[in-house]
Each structure stands twice: as structure tokens, then as C-alpha cells.
Chain A
Amino acid sequence: MRVLVTLCVLASLACSLSPSDREKISSVFNGPIDSLKSAYQVTVARSILELPLLESTCNYVAGNTQLALADLYFASHISKIQGCEVKIAGIEDFLNTEIAGEGASMNTLFKAVTSLSNFGMTVDSAVSEKIAAKVKEEDTVTAHSLAYLATAVLPGEVPKDLVDSIEDIAHRADTIGNAMSFEGGLMETSLFLKGASVLSQKAGKAALTDQMTQKFANYIVSNKDKAGKSNLFYTLVGLDALSSGSLVPTHLIVLDNSAVISESQRTLKVSLVNPLGVTVKDSTAKIISAKGSGGQAIFTAGPMSGGDGTFEVAASELTRGVFTAELGFELPSGYLAPDNSVVKVKCVLPVELKDATFKLIDVDDNRILLNNDLSGGAVQGKADLSTRLIFDFSLADGAEEVTLHQVFVRFTNTKTKQNVFFIAQADLKKKYTIDLNFRSAAAKSFGSVGGQYSVDLIVGDATLPQAMVIDVATLNLEIPDSKEPAADLSKQAKPEITHLFRQPEKRPPQAISAVFTGLVLLPALVLLIMWAKLGANISNIQISLSSIGFHGGLLAIIAIYVNFFLGVNMFTTVKCLAGVAVVTFLCGQRLLSSIAAAKKAK
């Protein structure tokens, strides 16, 4: 039997369950058991993960199993794995009747056959013909998978055409990138792999090509992050099938610690595991070579320490960079070493700022305004449009100068928090320079926003243990006509507006108008007093129709005027006045002439 070891390391594609994955999945299969199906899933999953089985399962099975095919199927599996007894009379007869039934589907046949086998009861060998006929009739991937599973537990020879059909069925799977799956998804693919695995194990013949197995494995593993008990259950079933050693089992290598070595962690750890994450026993590993892109080595060629699937080796020399380490394995007999066992190893080392000079120059008269080597921390400076900033530095790990991916100088306006970035370019001697002429940069990069800026140097790279943000300077940038960036107010509440009402004109206090009211009434009073003094009288008064009419009319006219003042409009006033005025006029005429006549008579 050929056995394959493949290698997939550090790629975005995971190829086996990591310890944390196993932990995560284990926690899902801790219970609760609320149906026979969940009892079955928990028990099978725990046996695949080699976890202790739950004791309560047996009681649940004993109390909840009915004489029904679905119940018996689940119970039989649990009973086989956990050794529970299912005490129901007539199971054998019931299952054999199910098999004998005319319209028995592949599903029924599969469940009945596996249940009988799990309970240790005899299965009629004639069933295999029935299965073969049914498979031809239904001809789905699932039907084939079930047929494989059922046939594998039957006694006797495995039909050759059934084994041969495995590869044909595998060709029905869709290939996307480096993964392969059936249209029915995880459940269908897992069942197929399980069926193919047990059947080929029985037949003693690998049925799938290495490539196919690898692609199926990629697909199954990609499901390990799915939520849901059912998804995880079928992921485990699929991985179990891939790990059982009969399908051209795929043994995989994963690296601990993301294959990063540093001063504090100088060893590279490698695990040789199967898809379920179980290490391969009795294996040894050695380093064939470990070279960086420049040809430098970090591991000395030779055997790695450890065994039973976990190995480690300490770096001989730490050099910053990404290395490809070629590994060689000696595996127990039957295992095939991978063709290409190359892993990516990253060595991280810190760098430090060296030879820094932070210069501010006045371009008009070439006067150096500031020259500091930053040994005393951040500097303070002032700049305007005629200033040029030259910031030279180099980055070194140990004695050697290096170039890194991210070397940016960040200006942060302390007021608006606006960032302005400049990219530092290294020259051939790996010396970085930022040369900034504020006359041109002011408008272009700073948007003509002056004020105080803090200047940081950001140094980052995948090969640094920790990115650095170095506070370089605080710069007061004076830009004439500096404009604050206008905040976008269009999507905000606008300031409230209250209308300013016209103020009423200022009036004198009431006391003054009262005084003046008194003053204007004074003449009338004076008149009365004077009259009294002079002895004015009305002794000549005559009571006649005309005098009553005249004075009454006069009074009425005054009353109409007062009424006009208080509210009646002019039309009403004129109408009333017309009548009263005629009467008053006639009476007045009569009165005056009578007075005149009386005077004449005297």
C-alpha cells in the first residue's frame, strides 16, 4: 500500500486540524444528548477525536430506542462503539424484513445492513446482489457511497465493479482551484470518502489517485471553521476517512509558531500529522538545506531532534529574512515521503535607527536652522515656506544596514489630527533620505494647513518582531494664509436660528404722560376758575325745544366723536352725524335767532 506524505505549510489553506481546532470541535461534541441522532454524532465524533466517551449515552440509548430503522441504526453504532446493550426483542427479524421488503431503498438497505453488522447479527449474503441492483437503479453519489459502506461490512469478496466504480464516481466531483467536492456539499463528499475508504480497505486496493485525495482533503479541511454540529460532524467523518490509511492516506506537515524564529525563539518546530491532527509515530526528520534568497543559511543540515512526529531544530545563525527550508523525512514502512518538502521559515530580528540627522535649512541664505542627530529624542523646530527639511538615517540590525518594506515619515497635525505621509527611499548604500521643500510641499501635501505637526518615523516589515513608531520631531509649520480645512457640515445639524423681532419703539414712562395729561387738562380748569372769578353765569337760559335740540345735538355729536374714537368706523360715524347735524343746525338756527331777537327786544 502506498502512503503519501504531503506538505502544506503556512499557506492560506490549512491541511489538518490544529490543536486549537481540535479543542474547538471537542467542545461542540460535549453534549447535550437530546436525540438518538445527537447521541450518535457525539459518540462517533468523540471516538474519532479519541476523547473519553460520555457515560450517559448508554442510558439514553436504552431508554429511547424504538423498533424503528432510524433508531436502530443510530443505536447500533453507539452500541458497537461504546458497548451498550440494546434490549429490544425481534431486532434481527425486523431488520431482515426491512431488507427483504420490495421497495427497500438504498438508504434502507444500508441502514439495515450496517445495523445488523453492528449488533453482531448475521446478514444474508444475498443482500449484496440486491445492493448492486439498487445502486444501478438509483445511481447517485450518495447511493454509491451507501453501497460502499454496506458492502464493506458484508462477508465475502468485494464485487470488483463496485470497487472500480469509486474512481468513476470521484470524477463526478467538481474541482475548484485545489479543492474537489460533490454538488451535494460536505455531507455527500464526506460520506463518499468514508465509503471509498472502508471499501478500498476491505478490497486491499487504493481506489483514488493521490491528487484526488489531496483535493478532497483540501475541501474537507476548509469546512473546519463552519458552525453547526452537523457540519463539524461530517468534517470529522471525512477527515477520519482520509486519515485511516486506506485511501492513500494523506499525512501532512504543519509547523508550530507559524514558522517564525527570533532571538527569543530560536527553534523551528515541525509536526508530521495526519489530517485529524494526530502525529505520525516512528518517524525521523532532517534538514536538507535552509537558504534565504541571498543564499545565506540559518539551519545546519542534519537530523532534527525529537521523534514520533514532532521535531525541532535550533537555528545556527539568525539572519533576518524569509528562508526556504527543505526537509527530509524517514517514515515508517509504507509511507511515502513528500516530493517537495519545502517550508517557509521567517527569521525576525529587531533593527535600530542609526546615523540619523534631522536638518532644517533656510533655502534663501543656506543657513542651517537646526541640525540634530536625534540622540536626545525628539527635537523641536520651526519651519516656513523657505525651509527645507532633510532627514537622513539608516536602519541596521546589528552592524549591517538593511532596507525594509515600510519606511514612512508621518506628519500629524496636532490640532486637526490630519496625517501626511512621505515615503523614505533608500539609496544604493541603504541610506534613507527624506528631502522636503516646504515651498512646494505646503500646498501639495499639507493642503496649506499650517500649525504644529508631530513628525514620526514608522518602520515596519514582516521580518521585524515589532514595528516601530519613532517620535522624531515636533515642527511648527508656518504657512501664510494657512487655512483650516473646512469641516463638511452638509450632513450635520445646522446651528439654530431664532428670528430677531423688531423692537418696539422706546416710550416715555407712564408718569410723564400722566403729568402731561394733567397739564393739558389744566387750561380747562383755569377756564372754569376764571369764569367763576369773573362771575360767568347762565342766567339767560331758556328752556325751549330749540335749546334742548341744539345742546342735545351738540352732546350727541360729541358722543358720536367719542364713539368713533372707540371703535366705529367712519361710514357709520358720517351716517349718524348727518342726521344729528341737521337737527342741531336747525335747532341752533332757531335758538340763536331767538336769542338775538330777545336781545334786540331789550
Chain B
Amino acid sequence: MEKAVIVSLLLAVASCRTLVILENVLTKESHSSFLSDLSTKDSDIVYKYATDSSLTIKKYGESLYNNIIILAPSVAAFGNGVTANDFLTFLDDGGNIVISASSDVGEPIKEIAAEVGVEIDEEGTSVIDHMNYDVSDDGDHDLIVADSFTSASVIVGESPKPVLFQGVGMAADLDNPLVIDILRASSTAYSHAANQDILEYPLAIGSNLLLVAGMQARNNARIVIFGSHLMLSDKFYNADVKAQSAVGGVQAAGNRDFTSNVIDWALRRNGDLRFSNVKHNKVGEAPSDAAYRITDEVEYSIVIEEMRNGNWEAFQGSDVQLEFVRIDPFIRAYLKPNSEGVFKVGFKVPDVYGVYQFKVDYDRIGFTHLYSTTQVSVRPFHHTEYERFIPSAYPYYASAFSMLGGLFVFSFVFLYHRDAVPESKKTE
């Protein structure tokens, strides 16, 4: 009994642990709001310095943490021989990673980013935008106001406010479809060292330049790379922004809300989907294992839940589709949710028999991949299930029955007829 309690306690402890890797003592001070926000999201946070000789992320083949937040942009080598590869293995094992980079970005950070399809620009470069720099910029026009957020509100929240950014630019690997451009630069921005002439084409220009990049791997593990370490700092959290070219007054920077939302997403407190209770039946009947007949009216329902701020809640997406598939989809229809997250749709089984699947394949930016298939067979009509008494066949019915009736009457006339004319008898 005691053992069981201990084991369950251990499991509870292991259920969500976050490792925060700090660049140095000052990071804790300069990013105190970020870290205090983080502590409201996860109760079990372990702080380590990047060069800490006891830095370990895996022990006895098990990841020690669920999430790793690396606030050490310029680290040249992690302590205890931890390499970029260890972090990638951690990602492969399903862990989530958040990284902050900066203009003096270190090699391990670049390496991790490159492996997940995000190329971080050379050390010493920064994102420069001579149009949209903040009014408090100190001369290089690299303190920029960014507002080209991804349209996926599950990552950045509803209508995020412009954020302050100062740091390094990134470009997505075009061959990697999993990269999500969470925050893009404006079309007048570019990435280069401010004090060097531009002789070659920069890493990226305009909206190809990523300021915050994310990736959701195929195992649903997530990684977010902030190009700006300062973006998460108290200084930027409490700053006012106004793009130099914008009209109107200053407004509070959206950094805190934006970061908080992105971290929620990265730590899988938002945008996780799960399904349960898949049901299908003939309209008006209880679910059964029997095959459906072609042209039956059937109903399908599935319960989908969404992780929202760390709690499972009824999902309310309006674009969930059900496919009825026999090699190719025969029917694709939108499922309509009710307030409890029960998604339902009814349709008529196609008039082609065979083995079908009910398939819900919901893959949207920012959400984990939801995939459910249920196999059913569809049989043709029994011979008794065809139409009877076709009006067009009435002539046939009539001729057959008149024939039978005629035979019956004829049998009497044929057998019992007596000729009324006696002369004919004489002749005979």
C-alpha cells in the first residue's frame, strides 16, 4: 500500500517537470516576470545554469523532464558534456523545448535550430527594419515592432498586440513542412550586421524572415525558438511600443501576453487534442456491430477535447471533417459540435458496397494531429429488399392474372358446354 502511494506520488511528480537553463545569475533577474509566469504554468521547475557541471537531461534512458526552456542564447557549450544532440533526442522522446536566441547566438543553439528546420543567421547579425523600428531604438534600427503573427490563434492568442523585438533573424527550411512561422518580420526588414555593408544576399529578407519560429514534430513534441532573448525580459514586458512609421501614440508592448500564449502552446498546455467515445449507428437504432446496407441513413459521433490552459475542455472547432473511406473518400462532411464537445453528423451510406472506414483526420496548424478510424462493412440489398409492385409492370401482372382467371373460366366452358342447336347434332 505504502509502495503504491510512493509510486503514484513519483508518477505525479514526474508527470510534468520543466528544466530552465539559464545563461547566468542575471538571467533570473532580467527575466523575472517570464519565470514567474512560467511558475504559474508548471509547479515543478528546476533551474540550472547552462555551464552547470550537473546538467543532465536523461538518466537511465529516461528523460528527467517534460519541457526544457533554454534561456542561454550565447552559450558556447553546455555543462556536463550535454550537446545539441541530447536536446534533439529529448525532442524525439516527446519533450518540448523553448529556446531564446540573440545576436550573439552560440553554436549549440544554432545546431538545435538547424536540426528542426530553422536556420539562425550568423553571429553578430540582427534583424534591422528601417521602417518599423521602435521610437526608443538607440540608433541601429534593430529594436523593431513586429505584428505579423501567424493566423493560428491557438498559438498566439486572439488578436495579439504588437511586440518589441531585438535579436537575430531566422529562416525556415523550405523543405520542412512542419515549421510554423509564429512571428514574421515586415516586408521592409532584413537580417544583417548593422555595421557592415551588404555585399551578399542576406539570410532572409522581408516576410521570409522569421522572428519567432515553432515546430511541431510528428510525435507532437513542440519546439519554439525566439530570435530575441530580450523579447522575454522584464524590460520589454513593461515597455511601450510605437513603430517609428506608425501614427498615434505609444501603446503597451504585447510581449508578455504573446510570450505567455506561445509558452502555453509550446508546453502543450494549449492546442492538444484528444478524442473518445466514437459511436456510429443507423438513424433511430442503437449502435451495433452489424454491417450497414447501402443507402442506409447512418449517424456518427465522436467526442473531441482540447487542452486549454492546462485543462481538458470541450473542443469547439467548426472545421472537423468526417470521411467515409473505401480506398478513396466517398463522403466528406463537416462534423457539428455541441457544447459538450460531441461532434455529430448524419449521412446516407453510398450505394457501393465494400469495407469502409469512418475517418476523422484533423491536422491543423497549432493543434496536435487527431486521427481516428473505425472500420465497418457495407453490404448490398438482400433480394427481398428490392422494390415490389412496380407500376410500370402492371401490364405484366394484369396479363398473368387475366391468363390464370381465363384458364379457370375456360375450364368450365370447355368441360360443360352443351350445343344449343340440335340440327348440328343430326349432321354429325
Contacts and interface: CB of A to CB of B under 8 A. Distances in A.
A52 interface: no
B29 to A, nearest CB: 6
Given A226-B234, A227-B33, A425-B199, A406 B404 contact: no
Nearest to B23: A176
Given A225-B239, A423-B198, A493-B319, A535 B420 contact: yes
A419 interface: yes
Contact of B26 (A222, A425, A469): A222
Nearest to B190: A406
B417 A537 contact: yes
B285 interface: no
Given A227-B33, A344-B139, A513-B391, A464 B412 contact: no
A326 interface: no
A490 B406 contact: no
B6 interface: no
A65 B206 CA distance: 62
B130 A461 contact: yes
A185 B413 CA distance: 125
B205 A462 contact: no
Contact of A225 (B207, B235, B330, B409): B235
A469 B188 contact: yes
Contacts of A222: 26, 29-30
Interface string A557-568: 010011001000
B333 interface: yes
Interface string B404-428: 1111110111011110100000000
Given A10-B138, A177-B26, A423-B198, 8 more contacts: A183-B25, A258-B137, A423-B202, A492-B364, A496-B332, A516-B395, A521-B399, A565-B400
A497 interface: yes
A198 to B, nearest CB: 25
B363 interface: yes
A467 B417 contact: no
Contact of B321 (A493, A502, A536): A493
Contacts of A516: 394-395
7 contacts: A227-B234, A406-B198, A461-B130, A469-B131, A499-B348, A517-B397, A555-B408
The 10 closest A-B pairs by CB, nearest first: A460-B130, A467-B130, A516-B395, A538-B416, A520-B399, A499-B350, A497-B332, A493-B319, A539-B418, A540-B416
B190 A520 contact: no
B60 interface: no
A513 B416 CA distance: 36
A554 to B, nearest CB: 6
Contact of B417 (A517, A519, A520, A536): A536
A88 to B, nearest CB: 38
Given A403-B197, A517-B398, A225 B331 contact: no
Interface in B122-158: 128-131, 136-141
A129 interface: no
Query: For chain A, which range describes its interface: under 10, 10 to 19, 20 to 34, or 35 or more residues?
Result: 35 or more
B351 interface: yes
Contacts of B30: 222
Interface in B81-120: none
Nearest to B393: A513
B373 to A, nearest CB: 16
Interface of A: 10-12, 174, 176-177, 179, 181, 183, 185-186, 219, 222-223, 225-227, 231, 258-260, 322, 344, 346, 403, 405-406, 408, 410, 412, 419, 421, 423, 425, 458, 460-462, 464, 466-467, 469, 488, 490-499, 501-502, 507-508, 510, 513-514, 516-517, 519-521, 523-524, 527-528, 531, 535-542, 550-551, 554-555, 558, 561-562, 565, 591-592, 595
B206 A421 contact: yes
Contacts of B235: 225
Contacts of B420: 535, 537
A423 B192 CA distance: 13
A174 B197 CA distance: 39
B130 A491 contact: no
B194 A521 contact: no
Contacts of B234: 225-227
B56 interface: no
B329 interface: yes
Contact of B198 (A12, A405, A527, A531): A405
Contacts of B136: 258
A520 B330 contact: no
A513 B394 contact: yes
B295 interface: yes
Contacts of A412: 187
A467 B198 contact: no
* Interface secondary structure of B, over-half rule: mixed
By CB atoms of chain B within 10 A, which of A408, A461, A562 has the most? A408
A106 B404 CA distance: 124
Given A462-B140, A499-B331, A517-B394, A181 B417 contact: no
B29 A223 contact: yes
A496 B334 contact: yes
A181 B351 contact: no
B372 interface: no
Contacts of A467: 130-131, 188, 245
B37 to A, nearest CB: 11
Given A186-B29, A460-B141, A595-B415, A419 B187 contact: yes
A561 B206 contact: no
B29 A538 contact: no
B258 interface: no
B391 A507 contact: yes
A561 B404 contact: yes
Given A176-B26, A501-B295, A531 B391 contact: no
A425 B33 CA distance: 45
Given A501-B295, A520-B399, A258 B206 contact: no
Interface in B228-281: 233-235, 237-239, 244-245
B32 interface: yes
Given A227-B237, A488-B177, A12 B138 contact: yes
B188 to A, nearest CB: 6
Interface string B15-30: 0000000001110111
B401 interface: yes
Contacts of A538: 412-413, 415-417
A227 B253 CA distance: 14
Contacts of A492: 319, 364
Contact of B139 (A10, A176, A408): A10
Interface string B172-212: 00000100000000011010101001111110011110000
A419 B331 contact: no
B406 A346 contact: no
A542 B415 CA distance: 10
Contacts of B418: 537, 539-540
Contacts of A458: 188
A535 B321 CA distance: 78
B402 interface: yes
B365 interface: yes
Given A403-B197, A491-B365, A558 B408 contact: yes
Contacts of B348: 499, 501
B392 interface: yes
A510 B391 contact: yes
Contact of A406 (B128, B177, B396, B409): B128
